[in-house]
Amino acid sequence: MSTLKINNLSKKFRANDFYSLEDVNLEINAGDIVGLVGRNGAGKSTLLKLIAKSYIPTSGTVEYNGKNIFNNDYILKNVGIMIEPVFYPYMTVKENLEFYLDVHGKKGFKKNIDNILELVDLVKKKNNKPENFSFGMKQRLSLAIVLVDEPDFLILDEPFVGLDPYGVQELLEILQGWVKERNISMIISSHQLSELESICNRFVMLEHGKMKNIQVEDEQNLGQYFTERKEKK
């Protein structure tokens, strides 16, 4: 059984006369690390917000471990979601992590805090407030909050946006280390395929709200994305 099953999922916002997401089907199995690529406006955030239950679909369903997420409360309790900033700027790093665990009734995971801060290289900043952090530090704090309760499934929306190449590499290494030690699943979006190549075992592409399946070996189908990468080298 797949961990996440998306069936004929569509979303049209009231304000628009077009579908932001149209008839999307996707299965994600345990251990799958799926890269979701597509240009700005392709529908990546809409899809991830639907999976995260932030939006109600116009039609279609999303099943997590065999259950419709829209009919079941607390079904995403073991899912780590990084779509919008997940920390409070006026609390220290440590307080943010503790607060997150308190609010979600997961005090038992407080033992993870020191290890997670080590992982994201924020140990020295644990008593600082993130309001003046660099963008990279803020992303690493968001990731720490998402990982601290050891989720089975991760939803990450463009976590590399705004990071310099060093920041991208840092975040990638954190994620790679995390994935290697655990049999988790993940869907991670980017408008640049090159950022996802080293971590994903599968890729899917959205174009104007529609899903296109692509194979990582199939460079020709990836067209512009691989062209961009080759030109950069």
Ligand X SMILES: Nc1ncnc2c1ncn2[C@@H]1O[C@H](COP(=O)(O)OP(=O)(O)O)[C@@H](O)[C@H]1O
Q: Which is nearer to ligand X, 13 or 135 (CB)?
A: 13
Q: Which residue in the set 3, 33, 38, 168 belongs to the binding site for ligand X (CB under 6 A)?
A: 38
Residue 59: closest CA among 28, 19, 29: 19
Binding positions for ligand X, 40-69, rule CB under 6 A: 40-46
Q: Which residue's entry shows tokens 């920041």?
A: 167
Q: Is 207 marked active-site? A: no
Q: Which is nearer to Mg ion, 44 or 125 (CB)?
A: 44
| By CB under 5 A, residue 112 contacts Mg ion | no
Apex CA 143: angle with CA 149 and CA 56, to 5°? 80
Q: Which is nearer to Mg ion, 44 or 138 (CB)?
A: 44
Residue 82: closest CA among 171, 193, 201, 213: 171
Beta carbon of residue 50, minimum distance to ligand X (angstroms, whole number)? 10
Binding mask 88-127 for ligand X (x = CB under 6 A): ----------------------------------------
Give the active site residue among 63, 98, 131, 158.
158
| By CB under 6 A, residue 20 contacts ligand X | yes
Reduce the secondary structure of 155-196 to three states and give it as a string.
Answer: EECCCCCCCCHHHHHHHHHHHHHHHHHCCCEEEEEECCHHHH
Phi/psi of residue 23, nearest 5 degrees:
50, 55
Query: Which residue type sits at 18?
Result: F
Is 140 in contact with 160 (CB distance < 8 Å)?
Answer: no
Instruction: Report what 15 binds from Mg ion, ligand X, none; CB cut-off 5-8 Å by kind.
Output: ligand X
Q: Which residue in the set 3, 45, 142, 185 belongs to the binding site for Mg ion (CB under 5 A)?
A: 45
Q: Which residue's entry shows tokens 């310099």?
A: 164
Beta carbon of residue 175, minimum distance to ligand X (angstroms, whole number)? 19
Residues known to be catalytic: 158
Give contact residues for ligand X (rule: CB under 6 A): 13, 15-16, 20, 38, 40-46
